[in-house]
Every structure is written in C-alpha cells, then in structure tokens.
C-alpha cells in the first residue's frame, strides 16, 4: 500500500498535480508491482518562506538515511 506525499511550493496547477500523481502511480505499479487500487498520492503545499524550517532542515538534512534522491541545492 504505497502512499506518496509530495511537498512542493504553491503555484502548480491542478492539471500538473493530476499529471504528476498519475506518473507516480504508474512508476509505483511498474517498479513495486503495486496495483493501482493500492496506490495513493497527495500534495502538501509549503510556502517558500517556510520551506527551510518545515522541509529542508527536518526532513532533508535531519533524516539523510531516508533520502534516496538528494537535492542539488543547499539552504
């Protein structure tokens, strides 16, 4: 039962989010051999001003063992 939470800055359209959710679903089905019914995808918009404190420090820098793709930026 994979669930993916995508955190991103506000400003992406509903169509973009829907397209990304479908791409993520297809990748999970292909890679993890999941059924479509078992996959869920959600989005959480985080303001740019809050990104460092809300995402970058606690989740990217604070839990490097969980990170499978590192960002190409620093804050």
Active site (catalytic) residues: 2
Phi and psi at 13, nearest 5°, equal: -75, 165
65 dihedral zone (left: phi>0; alpha: psi -120 to 50; beta): alpha
Inter-residue contact 34 to 4 (CB < 8 Å): no
């Amino acid at each position: 039962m994979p669930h993916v939470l995508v955190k991103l800055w506000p400003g992406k359209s509903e169509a973009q989010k829907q397209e990304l959710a479908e791409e993520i679903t297809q990748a999970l089905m292909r890679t993890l051999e999941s059924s479509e019914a078992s996959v869920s995808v959600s989005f959480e918009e985080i303001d740019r001003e809050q990104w460092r404190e809300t995402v970058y420090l606690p989740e990217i820098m604070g839990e490097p063992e969980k990170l499978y793709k590192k960002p190409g930026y620093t804050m």
